Amino acid sequence: MSPLNTGISNCRNVASYSFGAGTLSTLPGHVESLKKDANSYVIYYIDCYFQGSSALLNGLALNPEDLCHFVDSSNEPTTSLVDEYVKSIRSAKNEILPVAIIGLGGGVTMDIAKAVSNLLNNPGTASDYQGWDLVKFPGIYKIGIPTISGTGCEATRTCVMTNLETGLKLGMNSDFTVFDRIILDPDLSATVPTDQYFYTGMDAYIHCIESMNGSYRNAIGDAFSQQALALCRGIFLSEDMQSDDNRASLMVASYLGGCAIASSYVGVIHPFSAGLSVVLGTHHCIANCIVMMAMKDFYPQAYQEFIEMLEKQEIRLPSGIASNLSDAQYEALYNSTIIHEKPLTNALGDDFSKILTKDRVIRMFQDM
Ligand code: ZN
């Protein structure tokens, strides 16, 4: 059986969403409608970037019984961090479960909300569910509110976590990981720094490039990809990629890119990017952009277009981050790249390891 045969042609989409500037204001009323009695409470995971943002926090109208965690999004989620959150909720609330879990932030924050939601209703630890369709019971009702666009996390059936003990960076791929509701409010991405906006936005572009160039295709996934790519081209080849209209468009491109990848697989870029994240701690979105610089042979057209977007937006990528490492580090980079059997099979076929020999992989890292 092909490793790509994991049932993802059965797609579950986000159950409901609201879109438009100012739609965050619909959240408090929605949350109240979920509460049943005096013990009902909600858990908020909020990117620590907003910790001092009193206007935003007051607008959420938290109640004293609710739990609020500010997430340090400079570190990508680990399985042990997710386990710690779950343990602390169980002890703080004496096994009473929340009526909703809300993730407000970027991919890191939303992924934590997804993972904690699933684990509160399933036994065991986060690492037990790294893989495909291992989650047995629906998680707690979850709401995703992206504040930066591109990862598509608001749409996907995964939440990426790294297991530091095994080096495995893999999500809980499950229908139960999909958000029950998302709020796409472009006002929330108004203060994203320019570089960050570009790197994260490129994640949407890259998901669709990989998906469209793979062997595992379907018409719906392609349609999502085509529209997301058209939006990305409009945004990143324009004069002001962060205009009000472009920020709204990128929220849509991110969502569509997430839908595309939920019904397909990534390709060569994400495995290399995961290698950089696991071995050197490079963040996902900037790692993708760095990897793009070594993708001329694999995605020649996208490579050219990516360079054009970099130049148009005057973004300067770091270079040489893997040019001078130890043998052990190169070995680790190779291993944490080649381990991604499904996307590499999607991009290069069953014999991907003959194309991506150890020497070639190491040379590509050295060239980034
Ligand atoms: Zn990605």
Query: CB within 8 A of 250, min separation 6: which ones?
Result: 149, 150, 189, 201, 204, 231, 232, 235, 241
Q: How far is ligand 1, taken at its centre, from the CA of residue 150, in Å?
A: 8
Distance of alpha carbon 346 from the chain centroid: 19
pLDDT number for residue 249? 98
For 122-158, the pLDDT digits (tens) are 999 999 999 988 999 999 999 999 999 999 999 999 9
Q: How far is ligand 1, taken at its centre, from the CA of residue 261, in Å?
A: 9
Q: How far is ligand 1, taken at its centre, from the CA of residue 61, in Å?
A: 32
Rounded mean pLDDT for each run of 10 residues along the chain, 368 residues in total: 64 89 96 93 97 94 94 90 95 92 96 98 96 94 97 93 85 94 97 96 97 91 95 98 98 95 90 93 94 97 98 96 95 94 94 96 96
Q: How far is ligand 1, taken at its centre, from the CA of residue 213, in Å?
A: 15
Distance of alpha carbon 197 from the chain centroid: 14
For 220-235, the pLDDT digits (tens) are 889 999 999 999 999 9
Structure tokens at 29: 């009323």
pLDDT number for residue 263? 81
Structure tokens at 51: 């910790």
Q: How far is ligand 1, taken at its centre, from the CA of residue 202, in Å?
A: 9
CB 149 within 8 A of CB 250: yes
Query: CB within 8 A of 273, min separation 6: which ones?
Result: 282, 284, 287, 288, 290, 291
Q: How far is ligand 1, taken at its centre, from the CA of residue 165, in Å?
A: 22
Q: How far apart are CA 255 and CA 293, in angstroms?
A: 25
Q: How far is ligand 1, taken at its centre, from the CA of residue 210, in Å?
A: 10
Q: For residue 78, what are the β-bridge partners?
A: 162
pLDDT number for residue 11? 75
Query: CB within 8 A of 310, min separation 6: which ones?
Result: 317
Q: How far apart are CA 325 and CA 94, in angstroms?
A: 48
pLDDT number for residue 7? 57
CB 12 within 8 A of CB 178: yes
Q: How far is ligand 1, taken at its centre, from the CA of residue 107, in Å?
A: 9
Q: How far is ligand 1, taken at its centre, from the CA of residue 197, in Å?
A: 14
pLDDT number for residue 8? 56
- Comparing CA positions, the residue from 293, 244, 269 lying closest to residue 343 is 269
pTM: 0.92
Structure tokens at 53: 């943002």
β pairing state of 160-163 and 168-173: antiparallel
Q: What secondary structure does DSSP assign to 162-217, as a single string?
A: EETTTTEEEEEESGGGS-SEEEE-GGGGTT--HHHHHHHHHHHHHHHHHHHTSS--
Q: How far is ligand 1, taken at its centre, from the CA of residue 169, in Å?
A: 12
Q: How far is ligand 1, taken at its centre, from the CA of residue 91, in Å?
A: 34
Q: How far apart are CA 138 and CA 200, in angstroms?
A: 29
Q: How far is ligand 1, taken at its centre, from the CA of residue 233, in Å?
A: 17
Coil, helix or strand at residue 132: strand
Q: Letter for the amino acid at 220?
A: I
CB 139 within 8 A of CB 100: no
Structure tokens at 183: 């709020």
Q: How far apart are CA 154 and CA 115, in angstroms?
A: 13
Q: How far apart are CA 70 and CA 351, in angstroms?
A: 44
Q: How far apart are CA 362 and CA 100, in angstroms?
A: 45
Q: How far is ligand 1, taken at its centre, from the CA of residue 284, in Å?
A: 7
Q: How far is ligand 1, taken at its centre, from the CA of residue 90, in Å?
A: 31
pLDDT number for residue 240? 96
Q: What angle do CA 169, 172, 174 make, to 5 degrees?
A: 145
Q: How far is ligand 1, taken at its centre, from the CA of residue 285, in Å?
A: 7
Q: How far apart are CA 173 and CA 119, in angstroms?
A: 13
Q: State the burial class of residue 207 (Cβ atoms within 10 Å of its Cβ: 0-12, 13-18, 19+).
A: buried
